[in-house]
Structure 1
């Protein structure tokens, strides 16, 4: 069972919503239970990262992505993965043929905690400045880029 909790002063946790409160009623007072507590990532931060990917992709444009014959979704996904790798967030894997490849780490909630995601987001900005926005002089684009810091 997964229940979202909020921590209050004094070490007391309470459910975030009423439906979770109802689910907790099945547990008896005074009994000992084991729980794994995980700090969840802020959804707005996750959305901001994907808006940043879109901003970078739009600036880079589909023509430069190297997948001109692919649909736009595929191009965006490949761009996102490449920028994530350039930011240093990747896994090295060996294929069935024995080839070594790098694969972008997943940015999903279950794959990265908030601390790692924050480090990744910062590295994505640095990688984009170096590889996507290098030489950009347009003040409007630079102001928009700065809004993601």
Structure 2
């Protein structure tokens, strides 16, 4: 069971809300409770990363030359783009498929898998990837790149 707590001014950990308090009431008074405490990541910062990646995806999907396969155009895919950006930031691991093909898979960016410090590093490296892989497209004019860089810098900080 996961219980969300907040630190009170006196240092005590108290339930975040009524739902969390109800979970605690299920424990018997005087019983021993084992807990693994971790500070939750900032959800707003997590949403901001997705907004950043969505913005970059919109630019990339409009400017990148999409390949064709047997005469059929291949459509861009946000999930693949998001995972590729994560891989390019260095947050990745090797996997092997049943056909023995080895490839990179993106590490999970879930709250349970990545602490604040690691996520901040991912965020910063994501900006670097966007500059190097999305905004370096030769189809973009110098003015467009400057405009995109100016907007991108609103995400930094």
Q: Same fold (TM over 0.5)?
A: yes
**8 Å CA contact 1:87, 1:124 repeated in 2:** yes
1: CA distance, partners of 2:30 / 2:65? 59
2: CA distance, partners of 1:137 / 1:63? 15
Q: Please state if 1:80 is matched with 2:82.
A: yes
Go from structure 1 to structure 2 and tell me whether the alpha carbon gap of 1:62 and 1:110 turns closer, same or farther (over 3 Å shift). Answer: farther
Per-residue deviation at 1:4?
A: 0.6
Per-residue deviation at 1:137?
A: 3.6
**8 Å CA contact 1:65, 1:79 repeated in 2:** no
In structure 2, the residue matched to 1:101 is 103
In structure 1, the residue matched to 2:153 is 146
Structural RMSD (CA): 2.2
In structure 1, the residue matched to 2:135 is 133
Cα deviations across residues 48-106 of structure 1 (Å, max 9, x unaligned)? 01100111111112562746433x6xx11111111111111111112222222111122
1: CA distance, partners of 2:86 / 2:23? 39
> Structure 2 length normalisation: TM-score?
0.80
**8 Å CA contact 1:84, 1:105 repeated in 2:** yes
Per-residue deviation at 1:122?
A: 0.9
After TM superposition, the structure 1 = structure 2 runs for residues 1-149 of structure 1, keeping only pairs within 5 Å, are: 1-62=1-62, 64=64, 66=66, 68-70=73-75, 75-134=77-136, 136-138=142-144, 139-149=146-156
Task: State the secondary structure of the residue aligned to 1:37.
Answer: coil
Unaligned runs of 5+ in 1: none
Between the two proteins, the alignment pairs up a number of residues equal to: 146
Unaligned runs of 5+ in 2: 68-72
